[in-house]
Structure 1
């Protein structure tokens, strides 16, 4: 707009030049040289002030200075706006403020009318802000809980291997001599020839030098990172998927020889290794079963992602993915194998690792972690774990924690390592109070412990005559199942005389108090029903036998049916090979052979154990 006004002014000046005389032209030249105060009575540039509002509406900036070159004048003359421009701006601002105040008053009045008529209400901004603050605080609390849980479940790598704990218990010389003897027997079996490669170092197990090289048949991928947790999944290669298809067909036909042929070609097929581990376990060959589990863990660890590490406790491996399930099965079996060898601290670290992989705990690691911590004498860790894990401080409601926490407190009370620990112990409940609480919450555990341990003192007969203990029932299938798991797993702890005295004193005090206060027994019954309210067994997927130290053995007839299957054995005896499914047929070199020898050849592929089929045939002929 300023340019248009400038052109209008120039046009008017040109008309004045044409109509005016030479005197007027001279006056005009003098007027242009004079300052703005000596301007003529009718200044054409006053139009700029009159059109000021129009300029600002059109979006142009206010004209601070206008340069105009007059004809015959070399230097440009700067013409400034008049002094009353500031006052006009102030007037305009006052008008806008007045308009805004009137608009706000009208809006307020409209809101008040709506409020009076109850037609509309102003948005609850305070409530929205409070809701947002609560959401943010809940997210922060969830992250803090995840971090605390990750820290309490972080694994110490130096305690993962059983060999390190065995050296601590028996000494390095004994362990080294045993390892050298084992290596010597292995070298004699393979004819004095050793493998020409150094196996890859792993955290979970120590691989043997005669194992085959890792074939890279599987890997691990990172799915996502959420709340500081990394979620992973195993991925199989094309060759591994072919082996898996053959394994499914062999399992459907119940043919262990076919599974052995799979291991001959794919020595690190984890499902086949787990199958042979079960067969060796039920046949009484515990060391062969442990070797198969170790080889399975070696294959699974070689496929780990670079970000996957058990030492941080922030790696998640969901059990819902089928490719992740073998790791859970192998870790659980490896944990039990180390417990049988007396390596309780290593078993505790593996149990922590197993529990950190999936919070849903598909293998039931939560119901044996207290036992391993007590056997490893990690009493402080057990108390800290019960306070942190789950963030709701309700672990003491489970039977295993309700009876294990008094044991931990009992040993901590008798341990006077430092004065600061004594102060901390004084602030907490005593072991006797915790044991009384456990007996009142789960009284049916006592009678099962007396039978399973067994506790042969005559005082227990008198205690079980009390109605509260003698006729106690869980009253819930889930609770009954968890009690059976606890008794089967931890009954050996109650063979220590000092713990029997603690349990006896607490049981006598509970029996006397409940005679006088029957109301207290009803209160504990309500707590028990509130904690386990489901009418279904929520833990039916956990087998009680999986938490037992005893290994059931199968008779040779049943074991043979398990290895070959009744229908498959009948087909082989009749010579009807066409009845066997084509995909489940084993290769000619392993059909009818001993499954144990086939498995050993998969471990030692360069060794030839001979064909045992002719020997069996000769024995049958004789």
Structure 2
């Protein structure tokens, strides 16, 4: 509908309401024809002034009555007749004023009702125009989500994980940080160099569906609908869903598996030419771009994955409310987790820490088993986004098998969180902080529960203060091993993920002072160290590494770059290493005779190349003797 038609409809509606108001005024008060010709807003202004005059009259009447009453009380026996006459006169005057007020109040109520009817009519028209027009191109799940919000079909079992969609947009966060003018100028400069290809693809890009997780680019192809989602069932807390492949998508998946088996990157590109929204192929291409140093193209491929998977959402899939489960155990659901995790790291790399936090909350809410370790980086994004109060509430409200403060990342992050809150100047927050443990106590507990974190931080950050060199020589902090494989693995993940936070001078001083207090305390009472060792042993009692499926490199910001000739290595998922032992045993052993040494060196980096062990025995006949 054009703007001219919309104005005409609004004008007709206003005229109809005005005629209805005039007819009502004429029928109710035939003697007040002069009022019906006036603007309703002028009537309101006049009534305000008349009300003030009436109030003044009432005050005058009251003041006039007081001396009459006094005079009447003093001469009640001498002049009762005169007093009754005065009283009757005053009562008549007051009653006439009340009648006048009621009449004017009735006129005022009519004008108010007419104004409300006019506003209501305008709102109805605008709502109808929105439903019929611009709202049709919004993704179906947005309207369905509002419907289910109203009906309350499911309530979140973890309200702390409810997500605010407005914080998912990196563009919105960049505007909050740098201002709209700076971001808009940057976007115009980037688009100026690529105006030709964008203009050529504008026709296809105009039909993109509006999504929440990412904003589709104009050069992306149209969504082909090859991926869908089905509802598996529900209980009192959750609705359970699973992604479903269409026939064409299954065919593309088989072609991808064949190309992956022979490490053919060109074959994967060929799959994308015919199926532009094949998730595994796009994810592989994103990894290729990342390791070749093309981070922007890698981020674009990841965003295309998310766009396709959001377009496939079921109408009842409302993940931002925390009432949906997308179990990682289903093979078709796994790419969504890995792509979300990559997108979260991309947001962090761009400095959009609040967006990264919201995505991390989304990952954690979709599967309560936390298959990819979102629980071990959510504290980092909370601190970077300065969401200190939320992190404390999360540690108290989140439902977990173990207490969160027993994990290395939460034990140290909660201490930093409390330290930051204590340094804030708001009086209201200081009153609530008195009921909780102090930051110094929390940091001392973290150092005694996971003492090997300190030594690793000194090397990773690095902490160059000479005091730390003396601290790590103390018995409690001298070892990098805790005796538990699970604990050591989580410590490595925490240090790799959060070491940047410890570069702040105030945090370093806080750590140093707390460590010195721990040393002083243990010199007086050594039994405390043994008690905390028992707590650590009971919290991580398994002899095996229960978190071996989480790779430390997945939590790292560093991106190694290698020559393109060796990038086929990244078509293999590192998590599959434990499942390919039998396949590796059947690989043919390659001969090293008459081979170029440099070629053998690069070839040895490939995981599917096996040279056997005979040449090792020949080169070192005496083993490790001497």
- Shared fold (TM-score, shorter chain, > 0.5): yes
Partner of 1:535: 543
Partner of 1:204: 213
Do the aligned partners of 1:187 and 1:193 also contact (CA within 8 Å) in 2?
no
Partner of 2:78: none
2:508 to 500, 506, 518: 500
1:308 to 317, 334, 340: 317
* 1:310 Cα deviation from its structure 2 partner: 2.6
Q: Deviations over 1:3-29 (max 9, x none)?
A: xxxxxxxxxxxxxxxxxxxxxxxxxxx
* 1:220 Cα deviation from its structure 2 partner: 0.7
- Mapped to 2, the partners of 1:472 and 1:369 lie a distance apart of 24
* 1:415 Cα deviation from its structure 2 partner: 1.3
Do the aligned partners of 1:202 and 1:298 also contact (CA within 8 Å) in 2?
yes
* 1:198 Cα deviation from its structure 2 partner: 3.5
* 1:478 Cα deviation from its structure 2 partner: 0.7
* 1:389 Cα deviation from its structure 2 partner: 1.0
User: Where do 1:325-404 residues align within 5 Å?
Assistant: 325-390=334-399, 394-404=403-413
- Mapped to 2, the partners of 1:262 and 1:511 lie a distance apart of 61
Structure with larger Rg:
1
TM-score (norm 2): 0.65
- Is residue 526 from structure 1 mapped to residue 570 from structure 2 by the alignment? no
1:298 to 281, 286, 307: 307
- Mapped to 2, the partners of 1:541 and 1:391 lie a distance apart of 19
TM-score (norm 1): 0.65
Do the aligned partners of 2:264 and 2:568 also contact (CA within 8 Å) in 1?
no
- Is residue 171 from structure 1 mapped to residue 175 from structure 2 by the alignment? no
SS in 1 for 2:244: strand
Partner of 2:560: 552
- Mapped to 2, the partners of 1:244 and 1:528 lie a distance apart of 45
- Cα distance change on mapping 1:561 and 1:368 into 2, 3 Å: closer
User: Where do 1:47-446 residues align within 5 Å?
Assistant: 149-189=157-197, 192=200, 194-196=202-204, 197-390=206-399, 394-419=403-428, 421-446=429-454
- Mapped to 1, the partners of 2:438 and 2:156 lie a distance apart of 26
Partner of 1:7: none
Unaligned runs of 5+ in 2: 1-153, 573-626
* 1:494 Cα deviation from its structure 2 partner: 0.7
Do the aligned partners of 1:387 and 1:393 also contact (CA within 8 Å) in 2?
no
Partner of 2:586: none
- Mapped to 1, the partners of 2:537 and 2:567 lie a distance apart of 43
- Mapped to 2, the partners of 1:491 and 1:147 lie a distance apart of 37
* 1:557 Cα deviation from its structure 2 partner: 3.2
SS in 1 for 2:507: helix
SS in 1 for 2:158: helix
Q: Deviations over 1:68-121 (max 9, x none)?
A: xxxxxxxxxxxxxxxxxxxxxxxxxxxxxxxxxxxxxxxxxxxxxxxxxxxxxx
Partner of 2:9: none
Do the aligned partners of 1:218 and 1:235 also contact (CA within 8 Å) in 2?
yes
- Cα distance change on mapping 1:147 and 1:502 into 2, 3 Å: farther
- Mapped to 2, the partners of 1:416 and 1:392 lie a distance apart of 36
Do the aligned partners of 2:456 and 2:480 also contact (CA within 8 Å) in 1?
no
C-alpha RMSD of matched pairs (Å): 1.8
- Is residue 515 from structure 1 mapped to residue 526 from structure 2 by the alignment? no
SS in 1 for 2:426: coil
Aligned residues: 418
Partner of 1:491: 499
SS in 2 for 1:427: coil
- Mapped to 2, the partners of 1:254 and 1:560 lie a distance apart of 6
User: Where do 1:602-621 residues align within 5 Å?
Assistant: none
* 1:225 Cα deviation from its structure 2 partner: 1.2
Unaligned runs of 5+ in 1: 1-145, 565-622
Do the aligned partners of 2:174 and 2:352 also contact (CA within 8 Å) in 1?
yes
Which protein has greater RCO, CA pairs closer than 8 Å, 6+ apart?
Answer: 1
